[in-house]
Amino acid sequence: MITSTGNTKVRRLVSLERKAKLRYSEGVFIVEGLKMFLEAPKELIEEVYVSEGFLAKNPPELLNNTSYEIVSDAVFQKVSDTQTPQGILCVMKMPKYSLKALLEKRRQLFLLLEDLQDPGNLGTIFRAGEGAGVDGVIMTKNTVDIFNPKVIRSTMGSIYRVPFVITDDILKAIADLQAGGVTVYAAHLKESADYDLQDYTKSTAFLIGNEAGGLKAATADKADCYIKIPMKGQVESLNAAVASSVLLYEAARQNKKNC
């Protein structure tokens, strides 16, 4: 059992939690919690750590014959990113996807995210995306790191099942989608049509901008159509996660109706 916070493995885990550069250089990320462990694709699990307290409360069979290392409760508290750790943590390989592969389906539903910064927003978007049947999420490199522990936690496991691509050039990504027959709708307030008056029964992508500044003009200009969610009262707009959810579920509703 690892009992020292100065242990080399413990120091590495702490660094992986805090440093995106190290995560990407090693090609791994960290997930915490029993649900995240049980839903994790076995081929992506590299290491598992459990606390002595976890083993005292749970039978070893719960770990599905997966190899693991035991750490003291104090050490686990040190490496955990949560206030009340569940006592199980995994080091996972980063999954790899390509836009080319995502475009091979007959009919697609995508989200394009430009420079989102809130971890909770991004995680919620992945959860809503999975629920609505999104085929992929395309993010700019300046979007909050998808492997940030707060984002991972907010996805509630959807990180394992929703394909995603991080792009250096969102304008090229938009052009690639359009070349593949995908209509790109920009969530925008300027001269926009109501979102529920559009036809999303063909391949569709929704373009969502930064929480504070919205979409950059050059990015929005590449869209095929501007759409908006009508607001009552004095509310000007919804936050990125809520807006994404509304748009995705409208597309899901239309496609269910037309199946």
| Stretch (H or E) spanning 118 | none
What pLDDT is recorded for position 3? 96
Q: How far is CA 91 from CA 8, 63, 136, 157, in A?
A: 15, 15, 23, 14
Q: What distance in Å separates the CA atoms of residue 22 and residue 20, rounded to the nearest whole number?
A: 5
Low-confidence ranges of the chain (pLDDT < 50): none
What pLDDT is recorded for position 150? 96
What pLDDT is recorded for position 258? 64
Q: What's domain 8-93's architecture?
A: 2-Layer Sandwich (3.30)
| Stretch (H or E) spanning 122 | helix 119-132
- Token digits for 105? 């389906």
Domain pair 8-93 / 99-257, same fold: no
- Token digits for 83? 């206030």
What pLDDT is recorded for position 191? 81
8 alpha-carbon distance from chain centroid: 30
Would you list the domain boundaries of the chain? 8-93, 99-257
What pLDDT is recorded for position 259? 58
CA atoms within 13 A on the CB side of 216: 12
Q: How far is CA 62 from CA 46, 53, 58, in A?
A: 18, 14, 7
What pLDDT is recorded for position 236? 78
SS3 148: coil
Superfamily, domain 99-257: SPOUT methyltransferase, trefoil knot domain (3.40.1280.10)
- pLDDT tens, 170-216? 999 999 999 999 999 999 988 889 999 999 999 999 999 999 889 99
